[in-house]
């Protein structure tokens, strides 16, 4: 029996038993399309989708949703573009890159930002042993955090002197993980390499060679010696600790405090053709995010048990809990409190800020994925094409009117730009309204009219 038929049968049985069903929302949207399939990758930050499904938030909106794990980020994106998927848990860079034509070209939009933070950079035990001699330790003998990539630099230089490449993994060319790993490396004086229209490996002039590895395969790939470390979302950093094969050296919270991570992506055509459906989906996801963070993360253990199921993340609950419940284990026994490692709703986490989009675009420009200089206005224009706070705030307003959310939990008066942010590992300030001035601050990376030509930077 289909989910729709099952639900209808249950409602009929309730009526026949003489018991009225529960109260309906104040104003029920009528979705233009009510049977939907959403894709995701097996990471803990897909949690809003799983929670919206399991707690019945999608059904409350008249939506009958199927969730399907995808093999990798490219398969997921292609599924949304060709209509096999109605929407998906996406890397924040994917809708932006697709819309500007880097890689697969398509107009993808996001009405919902899924979370803040949630990633880490892990190195193998062998590399960690070599890094430790360059890291200060506290009175208890524990490494002082945050750990700079400057501690990795002499290790990389030793590899180069021996004629050996130094390889690290990230999950996709336009992933937060790629940009966070590059940011960390460059802040420590290491060249992470450039892209050009002719060479899309991203390894032009690189000290550290970055390549794509799907998230669940990261620990095994490092254990096999193919890569010496990686940047990935949870639970795949904690998995390295549990397996005894590696050490997470830094979280993305320490690289950029409360950085935006994944988004929920749909095609612009879907948003236009099914506006009520887009609103209904956004409402359900906002409710899920509220549940994940409410009462000081009181529901996190329940979320951990849910995510550990094979149809979602499929890792041991103990591994997922290690970061999902407010702590993070760097080495066996070195567990520290990181209450904001996973943020799903507080700090306006779910609002799709234009400035978040601009940051991703600056990193695409910094490393040559955007080959030519662009004026500040171009960044704003692209951000407004892709990020849809109008849909988000309309959904939020409906939830407030229905008594399912609080007025004060949404940034009603924002112009879509956060105040300038300076809590980065290198202390550089990011102002989304001035992307070119932001890029000028970095000693490593493209700026101004610079271009990547052949094997180097021109200009």
Confidence at 28, pLDDT banded by 50, 70, 90: confident
> What are the tens digits of pLDDT across the range 185-222?
999 999 999 999 999 999 999 999 999 999 989 999 99
Phi-psi region of 211 (alpha: psi -120 to 50; beta: other; left: phi over 0): beta
Give pLDDT, residue 17.
42
Give the global pTM.
0.93
Q: Which domains does the chain have, with CATH numbers?
A: 29-116+261-352+388-409 (3.40.190.10), 119-259 (3.40.190.10)
Mean pLDDT for 381-399 is 98
301 contacts 321 by C-beta, under 8 angstroms: yes
What pLDDT does residue 6 have? Answer: 38
Share of the chain above pLDDT 70, in %: 94
Tell whether the model's pLDDT for residue 250 goes beyond 80. Answer: yes
Residue percentage of the chain with pLDDT more than 90: 92
pLDDT digits 0-9 by tens, 85-100: 999 999 999 999 999 9
Q: Output 196 or 27, whichever has higher pLDDT.
A: 196
Interval 251-261: pLDDT, tens = 999 999 999 99
Average pLDDT value over all residues in the chain: 93
Q: What is the reported pLDDT for 230?
A: 98
Q: Report the pLDDT averaged over residues 455-459.
A: 92
Tokens of 62: 């008249």
- Whats the size of the chain, residue-wise? 459
Smallest Cα–Cα separation from 225: which of 167, 155, 157? 167
d(CA 326, CA 66): 30
* pLDDT higher than threshold 50 for residue 61: yes
Contacts of 307 (CB under 8 A, 6+ apart): 44, 46, 47, 50, 313, 315, 320, 324
Helix (H) or strand (E) holding 39: strand 35-40
Angle between helices 376-386 and 354-366 (to 10 degrees): 120
Q: What is the pLDDT of residue 27?
A: 60
Cα separation of 201 and 174, whole Å?
12
């Amino acid at each position: 029996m289909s989910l729709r038929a099952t639900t209808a049968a249950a409602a009929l049985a309730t009526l026949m038993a003489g018991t009225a069903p529960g109260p309906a929302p104040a104003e029920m949207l009528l979705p233009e399309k009510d049977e939907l399939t959403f894709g995701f990758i097996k990471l803990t930050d897909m949690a809003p989708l799983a929670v919206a499904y399991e707690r019945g938030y999608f059904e409350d909106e008249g939506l009958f949703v199927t969730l399907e794990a995808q093999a990798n980020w490219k398969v997921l994106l292609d599924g949304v573009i060709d209509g096999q998927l109605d929407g998906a848990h996406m890397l924040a860079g994917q809708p932006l890159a697709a819309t500007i034509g880097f890689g697969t070209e398509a107009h993808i939009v996001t009405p919902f930002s899924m979370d803040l933070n949630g990633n880490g950079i892990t190195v193998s035990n062998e590399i960690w042993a070599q890094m430790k001699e360059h890291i200060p330790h506290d009175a208890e003998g524990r490494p002082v955090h945050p750990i700079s990539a400057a501690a990795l630099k002499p290790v990389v230089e030793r590899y180069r002197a021996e004629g050996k490449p130094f390889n690290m993994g990230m999950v996709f060319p336009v992933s937060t993980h790629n940009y966070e790993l590059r940011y960390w490396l460059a802040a420590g004086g290491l060249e992470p390499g450039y892209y050009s229209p002719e060479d899309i490996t991203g390894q032009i002039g690189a000290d550290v060679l970055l390549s794509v590895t799907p998230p669940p395969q990261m620990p095994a790939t490092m254990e096999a010696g193919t890569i010496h470390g990686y940047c990935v979302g949870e639970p795949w950093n904690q998995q390295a600790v549990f397996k005894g094969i590696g050490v997470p050296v830094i979280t993305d919270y320490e690289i950029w405090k409360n950085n935006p991570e994944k988004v929920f992506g749909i095609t612009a055509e879907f948003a236009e053709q099914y506006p009520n459906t887009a609103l209904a989906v956004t409402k359900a996801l906002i409710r899920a995010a509220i549940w994940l963070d409410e009462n000081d993360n009181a529901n996190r253990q329940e979320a951990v048990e849910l995510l550990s199921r094979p149809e979602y993340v499929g890792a041991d609950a103990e591994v997922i809990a290690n970061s999902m419940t407010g702590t993070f284990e760097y080495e066996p026994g070195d567990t520290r409190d990181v209450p904001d490692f996973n943020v799903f709703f507080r700090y306006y986490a779910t609002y799709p800020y234009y400035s978040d989009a601009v940051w991703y675009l600056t990193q695409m420009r910094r490393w040559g994925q955007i080959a030519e200089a662009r004026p500040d206005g171009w960044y704003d224009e692209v951000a407004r094409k892709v990020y849809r706070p109008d849909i988000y705030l309309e959904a939020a307003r409906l939830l407030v009117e229905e008594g399912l959310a609080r007025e004060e939990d949404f940034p009603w008066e924002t112009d879509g730009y956060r105040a300038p942010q300076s809590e980065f590992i290198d202390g550089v300030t990011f102002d989304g309204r001035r992307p070119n001035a932001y890029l000028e601050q970095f000693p490593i990376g493209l700026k101004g009219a610079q271009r990547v030509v052949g094997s180097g930077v021109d200009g």
